[in-house]
Amino acid sequence: MDNRPIGLFDSGVGGLSIWRTIRKLLPDESLDFLADSGHVPYGEKSTAELCDLASRITRFLLDGDAKLVVVACNTATVHALAHLRETFPQTPFVGVVPVVKTLSSRTRTGTIAVLSTPATSSSEYLAGLIREFAPDKEVVNVGCDGLENMVEAGEVRTRATTALLERHLAPVKASRADVVGLGCTHFPFLRHRIKNMLGPGVRVYDPSRPVARRVRQLLEERDELASNAAPRFRFYTTGDADLVQMVARKLLRTTAPRVKHVEI
Ligand code: DGL
């Protein structure tokens, strides 16, 4: 048993889609979440910049006594997870990547679609996943620039978001894709809108549950599951704490959390 917190981070509030699933699956765990809103969006940064930010954030979470770190961001995972594992060999990490394997096994039409940030969309990592798991599939790979910024601003229902969604979903609609993977942790907060816009013939997959199950499995293997009677949730941001708090409350539909500004 280990009552230390699980640490999670994202470029912003998107990782809360992973946070809420871990919270549900592992209700006794304390969670420390850092939204790196001072440096959002990650989708437009270089690998070197992402490795540097991810390392500094990991150090911050480890200083807070994290027993495991969840990289709750596809962009940081595909660009920086290998670097983190090398830099912090004692720390268990769980990352999140587009669910290409699942999409490939579920499609009936042979066409799959992946929605992610421009950096994930053009990454060698995603190209490798496609080569490995979907070599015989047609892949609609959309780098959805700007979309994470709308979620970051709490704008999930505005006209501007609808216009962006229409633009990014157009190639999916024009294809025979019957399965779509959400390859950015901000996008599950737009899941219902995406589903409605694509219609009932298209299934939408998000990786939050597999990630939460992987966290549980790792903690079980290491005998580090917690049994906190009153688990503690701490929220940090490198950006504007009031804004992150307002948006987090909106996305999580709760009066918690209190968010603290930190420098990393
Ligand atoms: N939420 C992040 C992801 O899963 C990235 C958003 C951003 O570009 O900052 O990729």
Taken in order of first residue, the domains within the chain and their CATH numbers are 6-96+209-261 (3.40.50.1860), 100-206 (3.40.50.1860)
Sheet holding 179-183, edge to edge: 138-143, 111-116, 179-183, 203-205
Distance CA 126, CA 184 (A): 12
> What is the distance, to the nearest Å, from the Cα of residue 258 to the centroid of all Cα atoms in its chain?
21
User: Does the predicted model carry a pTM greater than 0.95?
Assistant: no
| 130 CB near ligand 1 (under 6 Å) | no
Asked whether 70 and 94 are in contact (CB, 8 A), the reply is yes
With a 6 Å cutoff on the Cβ, whether 42 touches ligand 1 is yes
Does 185 sit in the ligand 1 pocket, CB within 6 Å? yes
51 carries an active-site annotation:
no
Among candidate residues 13, 172, 184, 198, the one labeled active-site is: 184
95 lines ligand 1 (CB under 6 A): no
Encode pLDDT of 28-59 as tens digits.
999 999 999 999 888 878 999 999 999 999 99
Residue with the nearest Cα to atom 8 of ligand 1?
43
- Which contacts qualify for 19-26: CB closer than 8 Å, 24 or more apart? 19/72, 20/208, 20/252, 21/208, 21/209, 21/211, 21/212, 22/70, 22/211, 22/212, 22/215, 23/233, 24/212, 25/209, 25/212, 25/213, 25/215, 25/216, 26/212, 26/215, 26/216, 26/219, 26/225, 26/226
Contacts of 42 (CB under 8 A, 6+ apart): 11, 36, 50, 53, 73, 75, 76, 117, 119
pLDDT tens digits, one per residue of 166-195: 999 999 999 999 999 999 999 999 999 999
> Which pLDDT does position 26 carry in this prediction?
97
Ligand 1, residue 44: give the atom nearest the CA. 8
Indicate whether residue 207 lines ligand 1 (CB < 6 A): no
Separation of alpha carbons 34 and 32, rounded Å:
7
Is residue 73 among the annotated active site residues? yes
Tell whether omega for the bond before 207 is within 30 degrees of 0, i.e. cis.
Answer: no
The reply to whether omega before 257 is within 30° of 0 (cis) is yes
Strand, helix or coil at 18?
helix
Cite the beta strand spans of 25-165 per DSSP E.
Answer: 31-35, 68-71, 93-94, 111-116, 138-143
- The confidence band for 254, taking pLDDT boundaries of 50, 70 and 90, is confident
Per-residue pLDDT at 255 exceeds 90: no
Residue 89 has pLDDT above 90, yes or no: yes
Residue 198, H or E segment? helix 191-198
Can you give the pLDDT at residue 172? Answer: 98
Q: What confidence score (pLDDT) does residue 151 get?
A: 93
| Closest ligand 1 atom number to CA of residue 120 | 10
pLDDT tens track for 95-149: 999 999 999 999 999 999 999 999 889 989 999 999 999 999 999 999 999 999 9
pLDDT of 248 strictly over 80: yes
